[in-house]
Structures are given as C-alpha cells and as structure tokens.
Chain A
C-alpha cells in the first residue's frame, strides 16, 4: 500500500536515514521503534512530504509520490500526526476538527454566498462526524474549549481525532498515546485494531507493552538504518534490538 524504498536523508554531515526500506499494509499495524535520534520522525517527515529524500523513493499504491508537497500527500489520504501535538491552539476543539475535514468544494471564497445550502449540509455532516470521533476519544465534553487550554495528553488525543477527521487511508502516528492515561491508551489501540482493515497504520511508539500487544509488524531503526524487523516477538528476541536498547 505505502512503501519507502532505499530512502536516504542527510542533514549537513549527519546521515539521518540510510537505505531504509519499509512497507505499510492495510490489515496490519506496522510499528516503528528505536531510541531517540534514530530517525523515526525523519522517516515520517520524508514519507509525508515535509522533507524530500536525498535518495530512494516513496510509493503509494504503486504510484511514485516522492517529493510531493505535504498537502498533495495528505490529499491522497496519507495523514500524519506530530510528536509534539501541534493543535491549533487559538481555535476551539470542535473547530480544530472541522478544519481537518476535506473541503469538498465548500471552502471556496464564494461558496458561503452562492452555495449556501451545500455549505450548510457540509457543515452539519462534518459536525456530526467530529462529535462522534471526539466522544469516542473521550474529549467530547471539551469541544468548546480552546485547544491550547487542553492538557498534553488531551492535545495528543485531539491530534489523533483530527487525523481521523481527515478521512485517512494511511495514518502515520508519531507517538499517539504519549501522555495519555494507560487505560485510554489501550482503548485507542483497540480502536486502531478495529480500523486496520480500512486504514493502514504506521505507528511510532515507545510504549512497548501496548505495541507488543497490538502491533503486527515492527521495524527497528537505529542511527538511520533498519536493524531488525518482524513480529513483535521476533523483534523482542533479536540480539540487535537488545544491543540497540541496552548496549552490547
């Protein structure tokens, strides 16, 4: 579905990614782990079009999407979240959600004047969907608060909710449950399990307990290279992974 082939990226003299091959498929949850500075966020940035890769290419459903701008990548249905939640702080929670909805021709300058009924219908359907997602993530009661006034964990949930609002086909989630209460974190992953047949997931996560229970396939990045991959069980037992995390 989504694949990175031979991806390389350097910043000055630092090689952040080196010949990275990765595949995200619908029907399985793909996890990306590795110590801080191993290149996980850079990989997400390269796939989502924020940084063009120096080498290699990104493919989506057989199409080369390398170096497409972020909005074009997102229009294809590849939606990402950020390690730091980056909510629209000066907007209410519900407006954050509406801002993420696809425009569907309702976001033109003249639409509210010459296509009023269409815009009204669009707003109602977006509101309905936004409320459902917020309620599921248990932040529905905060809908009228400024997003900037939410706690760190709540902002993470809002970032996830907003990504779901954008009708993703692939979700690239950068530490989606960091700072979220453990019970809710598991609940979120249970929902992700439900969605995995319709949405492909690539998840960067440090919470090993949750990952090991829910991930189907794990890539381990270290100093910009994939040093191990496989099922959680295989990866956890891998000598290289133990070396990466605990040293030789």
Chain B
C-alpha cells in the first residue's frame, strides 16, 4: 500500500471511528450512561448490514437495516439495564458485548462463525475509479451529517435534559423530567449511530469476523471521548483522530525501528498511558464541552 493510500485508509478509519465515538459521547459524555459494551452495537450494525447486502439488498437499505437493528438492540438493552445504577449498567453492557461476540462466533448458520463474512458488497464499486477516495468522501459525508445532527440535538432542550441527568438524576426527576424515557431514547439513538459506523466499517473492509469486535474496541472508543473531551462533539472527532493515528502509528513504527514489544501491545500501552495522562492533567480533554451562555 502506498503512503497516500495508507493516509486515505487512515482517514476513512478516523471517519468511521469518529461516528462511533460520537455515539458513545451522546451516551457517556452527555448523559453519563456508562456503556462498556459499545462494540456490540458496532458489531450488530456491521453484521446486519453485511448480511442484508449479501442477500442482494442495495447499500442504503442494508445500512439502514444495520442502524435499525442496532437501535432495536439498544432499546432491548436499555429497558432493563437503564433501571440499574450506573456501575451495574457498566457491568451489564460489558456482558452484552461479550454475549453478542459469542453469538457471532458460534451461530455459524448466520454469521459463518470464526471464519467471518467475506465478499461484502461495496456501494458503487464498479462505477467509481478512485474507490478509496470515493469511500473517504462517503464516510466524511456521514460523519459531517452525524456530527451536525448531534451538535444541534445536544444544545436543544433534549440534550439539556441529558446533561441535567448527567449532573444529578434525582434533581432532574424532582423537576419533572421522566429521566428513564430520556435515557432510553438517547441509548437507542446512540446504538443506531454505532450501527451506522459498523455498516460503513463492514462495507469498506468487505470482510468481517468476530475477532474484530473484541472489548478492546470499546476501550479505544472510550479513550477517544476522554481524550477529545467528554460531552463535546468536536472533541469526540478530535479524540477519534488522535487515537486512530496513534494506533496506526504504532503499526508503521515496526517497519522503521526494531521494537522490543509487539506493535499491538505497544498500542495498548500507549493508549493506556495517554488515558492516564489526560485524566490527570487535562480531564476536560482536548476540546472542553461548550458552556451555554447568553448575551447581556
């Protein structure tokens, strides 16, 4: 792969992961919903969209199907799990992530098990010459759309209630907010957005398998929003760019230096280190959540 192709490939991954980070940011950054099973909704979107397109459905319908199915899974998880205290919600979502991965691994009739799904159709593959650039534009379009949608929503009355829930849920209830309903809607919406990211991921790679949806993906996405700035839409995008570049950087490094550590291990070490440093010295992240202000 040429350096330019590698750069474009990196940008495509930044766009996809930025959508995933934005979806976690809506849950965890804005509403303090501790979703530690984010990868499950990413995987559901990827597999659902891939399977639908393998049956012959066009890309837009497959992608929509992936998003809807991930959203429905979000509702199914939200109904029991969002009644739990936040630490139990975290545990329940970790478990859900693993359940989904094990289903993907073992339900061979549907997912082909560990072998994974191959030959996932790409949208307009034969109609475009510079396909990578086309896919970069496509993912960028989705990213801009999702970011703009969330920027408006976050600063609208709905987002304000989510922030109030994050700050003190009991007080939000005492002011008449049906907090469960707000949390469930946010969770379902964020799950659907993670499904879109998963679909874009699957159609770009044309191959997916369960080992691409390990809990480490969730850890990376959490790092993206902590580094970027919890609650901040531009922060989540910046965090995704930083983490993806760091992950890619460690892979490149092995071609130029003799490392005593496996690149994948080095990646995890650096991610952990970055997370600790940000939490200690810049807890507000790269781009702090905007403060709502009014003029004189």
Contact = CB atoms under 8 A, between A and B. Distances in A.
A48 B174 contact: yes
A-B pairs, top 9 by smallest CB distance, nearest first, are: A74-B176, A112-B156, A88-B167, A107-B157, A95-B292, A70-B173, A99-B164, A144-B293, A71-B173
A21 interface: no
B296 to A, nearest CB: 10
Task: State the main secondary structure of chain B at its contact with A.
Answer: helix
Contacts of B185: 109
Given A109-B158, A112-B156, A99 B163 contact: yes
Given A80-B174, A99-B163, A92 B291 contact: yes
A208 B178 CA distance: 36
B176 A122 contact: no
A11 interface: no
A143 B294 contact: yes
Contacts of B168: 86, 88
18 contacts: A48-B174, A50-B174, A71-B173, A71-B174, A75-B176, A79-B175, A82-B171, A88-B163, A90-B163, A90-B166, A94-B292, A95-B292, A98-B157, A101-B157, A103-B161, A107-B156, A109-B153, A162-B175
A81 B291 CA distance: 24
A94 B155 CA distance: 13
Contacts of A103: 157, 161, 177
Interface in A135-184: 143-144, 146, 162-163, 166
A95 B158 contact: no
A112 B156 CA distance: 6
Contacts of B170: 50, 70, 86
A111 interface: yes
Given A107-B157, A144-B291, A144-B294, A71 B177 contact: yes
B160 interface: yes
Contacts of B292: 91-92, 94-95, 98
A92 B182 CA distance: 21
B76 interface: no
A100 B175 contact: yes
Classify the interface of chain A: helix, strand, loop or mixed.
mixed
A190 interface: no
A230 B155 CA distance: 48
Interface of B: 149, 152-153, 156-158, 160-161, 163-164, 166-168, 170-179, 182, 185, 189, 289, 291-294
Given A50-B170, A74-B173, 13 more contacts: A48-B174, A79-B176, A82-B174, A88-B167, A92-B293, A98-B157, A98-B292, A103-B177, A107-B161, A108-B158, A112-B158, A144-B291, A162-B175
Contacts of A94: 292-294
Using C-beta atoms within 8 Å of the partner chain, give the interface range for chain A.
35 or more
Nearest to A103: B157
A106 interface: yes
Q: Which of B158, B175, B177 has the most CB of A within 10 A?
A: B175
A166 B172 contact: no
A91 B171 CA distance: 14
A135 B176 CA distance: 24
Given A86-B168, A91-B292, A127-B294, A106 B157 contact: yes
Interface of A: 48, 50, 69-71, 74-75, 79-80, 82, 86, 88-92, 94-95, 98-103, 106-109, 111-113, 119, 122-123, 127, 131, 143-144, 146, 162-163, 166
A43 B166 CA distance: 26
Nearest to B292: A95
A111 B173 CA distance: 21
Contacts of B172: 99
A163 B174 CA distance: 9
A32 B20 CA distance: 51
Residue among A98, A122, A131 facing the most chain B CB atoms (10 A cut-off): A98
Contacts of B177: 71, 74, 103
A74 B176 CA distance: 5
A82 to B, nearest CB: 7
Contact of B189 (A79, A109, A111, A131): A109
Contacts of A111: 156-158
B174 A74 contact: yes
B9 to A, nearest CB: 33
Contacts of A113: 149, 152
A166 B176 contact: yes
B291 A146 contact: yes
B160 to A, nearest CB: 5
